[in-house]
Chains A and B, each alone.
Chain A
Amino acid sequence: MAKKHFLYIVLIINFLSCRENDNTVENILIKGSDTEVNVALALAEHYMEKEPLVSIAVTGGGSGTGIAALLSGKTNIANASRPMNAEEYHLATSRSIHPKPIIFGLDALAIVTHASNPLDSLSLADLGRIFRGEITTWAELGGPEKPVSLYGRQSNSGTFLYFRDRVLAADYAASLKQMNGTAQIVEAIATDPAGIGYVGIGYLSEQERKLTTSIKVLKISSLSNSRAFSPLIYTNISSGKYPIIRPLYQYINGQPHGRLLDFLLFTIGEEGQGIVRKSGYYPISESQYAENLKLLDSEMAIK
């Protein structure tokens, strides 16, 4: 009995001294966007493999939840699939918090229809008209005599808000069917010959092969008379030719140091961007990279 107790004590002392000697074990908390949660987890896992003394915890909850946590000092990084809004910035200032947006990937929203839809491309303006409810039949676009059936995400989704602000700049048509997730939008459109909806490109590249028989990804043009581009081709995204791209943000508070800074540099670096690509999103452009470095303080970044 006594021997056993002794063993425990030795173990505990060992453990304590370990902590004391190597006090570099650092915890990083990441919270926010559900869209980003998988890519953030992949990044964290790879980073922790390289740096065993760092522990990173990633949780979802939505962009708003992550930003709220950053503003109340409960997370190191807030993942967001939308920029912070004025109200949130206002709250930040009042709490002496200085949010910095680090863009670590690009998400293109693909516009999908039923495979039988004769349309191949749409202009951004027509897309807006469709989702605002101004165009109500496919015939108006040269398609079949069918009422347009709209699918979108539910109003708690960052994608719902992004698409609305970027493409509609007004309210969605009241007839929009608000689906409980990307998978369900695709499920619904696969059986609805008059359906149209938007889905994150990350979802499509995973499922692309399975879906090509039942749904179709439209090419989108920025102007009604300009060329339309497909979001399935990377160069269309990186060159900015495909018009519905949104940055994926990591918000931090003020100047990061140490492991936090190191992790952020890892996410925008070559290896991190490879992981972003594998997760189904697109890497950031060179100018975005340079902008990130400026925000992270270039002096510190040179390492």
Chain B
Amino acid sequence: MKINVYLADRLASILFQVAGWLSVAILFGIFALLLFNGVKAFAHVQPSEFFLGTIWNPAAYDRPQYGIISLIFSTLLITSGAMLIAVPLGIGTAAYLAEMAPASVYRFLKPAIELFAGIPSVAVGFIGITVVAPAIARIFGLNNGLNALNGSLLLAIMALPTIITVSEDAIRAVPTTFREASFALGASPWVTLRRVTLPAALSGILAAVMLGFGRALGETMTVLMATGNALAFPNGFFDPVRTMTAAIAIELGETARDTTHYYALFAVGAVLFVISLVVNVLSERLARRFRYKNE
């Protein structure tokens, strides 16, 4: 019997180890695939055109153009816009839920927010076209609201549940003794939250923000529907944008295999992969630094 328990332990440990390594292998596999196919694009496209060009128009009438800069800029524009909205709002909501909300409000609000995370991105995109975009147009006196701002607002909505849920957990994980110490010094709840609780939860909140950022960065359907997808280089939040994800999703479906366009889309995918990787590694570093400082 003893041996059996031991064996089961060993087996489980091996199983999970394999699963862990498998996910690493899959990750590397995906990157290798993107890179392997992406590099082939450079047989016909100058790397300088790809990495420095500002116009992405592979389906051009005569000469296709493969400049990725506008795609990267568009992606970063709406993602950072989304974060500007979602981070303060998300952390504020999380703090309210964790520290202040009466039980009756919490019981209603918490599942509502979690439900929010389950809204399909197509539905969010549709709301973006029919509700948010016309509202933006009216508020800012534009002809239409299919622009980067619309994308940022929608992505903020989509990133919020992640940011709120993870931040709330981080705030709840802050030991009560910190709060008590602050209250005992004559700090108000607001001061305690701002000066003690939030800083102590910083590593978790940072993780929440990065998860939200990743969600916004990788979101495809919503931006594909609601940001206008124009090829022109955007000059700000009131211009339509075409993101990297939207370009891949729109174009890959009908692109003939083994063409330059096909490979160029893989190259875009590889760049997107690298961007998310950098974001993840940076946030991991940052989080670790704060965690070290705290513990």
Contacts and interface: CB of A to CB of B under 8 A. Distances in A.
Q: Do A and B bind each other?
A: yes
Contacts of B229: 154, 177-180
27 contacts: A62-B253, A68-B256, A147-B143, A149-B143, A154-B229, A155-B58, A155-B250, A156-B251, A156-B254, A170-B61, A171-B61, A172-B231, A174-B57, A174-B233, A175-B232, A178-B230, A178-B242, A179-B225, A179-B229, A187-B130, A188-B133, A191-B134, A191-B137, A192-B137, A192-B143, A192-B144, A193-B143
Judged by DSSP, the binding face of B is loop
Interface string B114-148: 00000000000100011001100100000110100
Interface string A188-224: 1001111100000000000000000000000000000
A169 B61 contact: yes
Given A169-B61, A171-B60, A175-B240, A184 B254 contact: no
Given A180-B225, A188-B144, A191-B133, 19 more contacts: A64-B254, A64-B256, A155-B251, A156-B251, A164-B61, A168-B61, A170-B61, A170-B62, A171-B61, A171-B62, A177-B146, A177-B229, A180-B125, A180-B229, A180-B250, A184-B129, A187-B130, A191-B144, A194-B143
B59 interface: yes
Interface in B227-259: 228-233, 240, 242, 250-251, 253-256
Contact of A194 (B144, B228, B240): B144
Given A184-B129, A187-B130, A192-B143, A62 B254 contact: yes
Contacts of B125: 180
A214 B176 CA distance: 58
A4 to B, nearest CB: 42
Nearest to A91: B256
Contact of B224 (A174, A180, A187, A192): A180
Interface string A117-154: 00000000000000000000000000000110100001
Contacts, number: 88
B196 to A, nearest CB: 47
A44 B35 CA distance: 44
Contacts of B256: 64, 68
A178 B225 CA distance: 9
Contacts of B58: 155
A60 to B, nearest CB: 11
Sorted nearest first, the 6 A-B pairs with minimum C-beta distance are A174-B232, A156-B254, A177-B228, A178-B229, A194-B143, A192-B144
B59 A155 contact: yes
Contacts of B251: 155-156
B55 interface: yes
A161 interface: yes
A24 to B, nearest CB: 37
B292 to A, nearest CB: 46
